[in-house]
Amino acid sequence: MLKYIASVPLILTLIASLYGGFTYTNKLTTQIDSSTKEIMLLRQDIENIHNIYSDKTNRNSKNYTEAREELVRTMSNLETWIGRIEAKGQAMEKLMYETGSQAELHALEEIVRTNSDSIRQFKYDMKDLERQLSGGY
């Protein structure tokens, strides 16, 4: 019986170590499960953040593309408008030169007419003076 009494502390130690091992394993398993749940939640949060970022980035990219296309259209319209203004300016310049040339021609004709009238009047005055000097009238 003494043999058996000496093995009781050994058995109690064995039972205590088994209990401690199971308790430790159980706590580790619980901690692993809890950490796994946290990791899953963090992954889900990261995925949500990534989706939101991707959505905003795609929206911003789409808005940027639309704005760039609108700018290109506006610049094309502006270039067309400037071309029209330039063509109208050139046409007006040509017309002004023609108008100026016609006005100059009319002015020259008027000067010639005036000079012709003045010369004719001068001829009459000279004839008058000649008659008066020769004793006419």
Residues sharing a CB contact under 8 Å with residue 137, sequence separation 6 or more, in sequence order:
131
Q: 């000067």: which residue's tokens?
A: 111
Return d(Cα 107, Cα 114) in angstroms, integer. 10
Return d(Cα 102, Cα 115) in angstroms, integer. 20
pLDDT tens per residue across span 32-65: 989 899 999 999 988 988 888 888 777 778 888 8
62 phi and psi, to 5 degrees? -65, -45
The pTM score is 0.39
Give start and end residues of each alpha helix (H) in the chain: 2-134
* Mean pLDDT in residue range 64-89: 88
CA 104 to chain centre: 51
Supply the DSSP symbol for 137. Answer: -
What percentage of the chain exceeds 70 in pLDDT? 96
Residue 137: pLDDT band (50, 70, 90) is: low
* Mean pLDDT in residue range 72-98: 86
Return d(Cα 18, Cα 14) in angstroms, integer. 6
